[in-house]
Amino acid sequence: MNMATTNLPAATPARARNLLVAVGFGIAGILMYFGGLFGVYLRERSQVRSSGGTWIPDKAHIELTPPGMIIWTLLISVAVMQWAVYSIKRDDRQHALLAVGTTLVMGAMVLVQHGWQLSQMNLIADEGPTTAATLIYTIVGSYMVAFVIGMIFVALMGFRALAGQYSSRQTDGIVAASLYWYSLVFVYFIIWIAVFIAK
């Protein structure tokens, strides 16, 4: 058998990774968006506190249990989403779809917990609008919008996988969705620390 490299067939051209590249730029944009919000939030909070003022209104109820549950839900969803990636890379479409579905259920749980928490915080009910309330609503509201987009993205990639578009030869859609999902978890981690823990 002739093993000369000149007789070997030409290598398959590298696959264009459009989706991964575009999602990478999308993630960068989202991180900068929230970076801008956090920058304003932390600066304003610092100024109010350094002048002896109260940042969170006295009658507001920011409990740690709901955000704690949300962060744990999201951390578990990271593992589940990675399970989807692991499965699709091994042509295990059944488990990949199970993982995508489970991630979406967890996403719905996160949205419900967000909604419940926003309804309970009492940020403006008694003391009227405050700077803190404006910024917290902006951050959490923006996050929920980004999160819903993420759920749609994950669901869309799940449907594409169901239709057979993704397999071990082509995993970009699931990987891209997972990267976006991880970035959302990272953003919430910052919200959890900066807004809810540090108050």
Partner 1 sequence: MLCADFLEFLLVSNSNKKRKTVTENQTETESNAADSASGPLEIDGLAGVFGTSDHKNIGRLYIFFGLSGGMLALILNILVRFERVNIGSVGVLDFGSSNQFFQTWSLSRTALLFFCVMPLLVGLATYLVPLQVGAPSLSFPRAAALAFWAWLIGILIHVVTVFADGGLGEPDPTSQFAQGMDPEATELSMLSIAMVVFALLLGTVCVIATIISQRPQGMSLFELPLFSWSILVAGGIWVLALPVWLSNLAISWVDFQGADALRYGDVENIWDQLSWLWSQPMIFAFAIPVLGIAGEVIPVSSGVPQRQYRIQQVAIGALGALSFGAFAQPFFNPDVANQAVFVAMGILVLLPIFAFFGGLANTSFRGNPSVSAHLILSVVGMLSLLVAATVSAFHVSGPAIGAIQEIDETWLDGLIMWLRDVQGTVIATAVMEHVLISAVIGIVSGIYYWAPKIFGYQLNRNVGVLSALTLFGGLVLSGGSNVINGILDEGDQVFHSSAYEGVWDSTAVEFFNIVGGIGSILLLVGVGVVALDITISVFLEKGNQEDVNDPWGGHTLEWSTESPPPIGNFSEAPVVDNERPLLFPAATGGDEQ
Please report, as ranges, the residues that interact with partner 1 according to CB under 8 A: 13, 16-18, 20-22, 25-26, 28-30, 32-37, 39-40, 43, 124, 128-131, 134-135, 137-138, 141-142
**Rounded to a whole number, what is the largest CA-CA distance in the chain?**
85
SS (H, E, C) 77-104: HHHHHHHHHHHHHCCCHHHHHHHHHHHH
Least CB distance from residue 73 to partner 1, whole Å? 25
Q: Which is nearer to partner 1, 76 or 148 (CB)?
A: 148
Q: Which is nearer to partner 1, 75 or 168 (CB)?
A: 168
Taken in order 116, 122, 125, 131, is the CA torsion positive or negative?
negative
Least CB distance from residue 17 to partner 1, whole Å? 5
Q: Which is nearer to partner 1, 86 or 137 (CB)?
A: 137
Query: Could you give the angle at the alpha carbon of 143 between the alpha carbons of 87 and 79, nearest 5°?
Result: 20
Q: How far apart are alpha carbons 101 and 114 in whole angstroms?
A: 20
Over the Cα atoms of the chain, what is R_g? 22
Task: Please tell me whether residue 181 adopts helix, strand or coil conformation.
Answer: helix
Q: Which is nearer to partner 1, 120 or 165 (CB)?
A: 165
Least CB distance from residue 69 to partner 1, whole Å? 25
Least CB distance from residue 134 to partner 1, whole Å? 5
Q: Which is nearer to partner 1, 3 or 16 (CB)?
A: 16
Least CB distance from residue 196 to partner 1, whole Å? 18
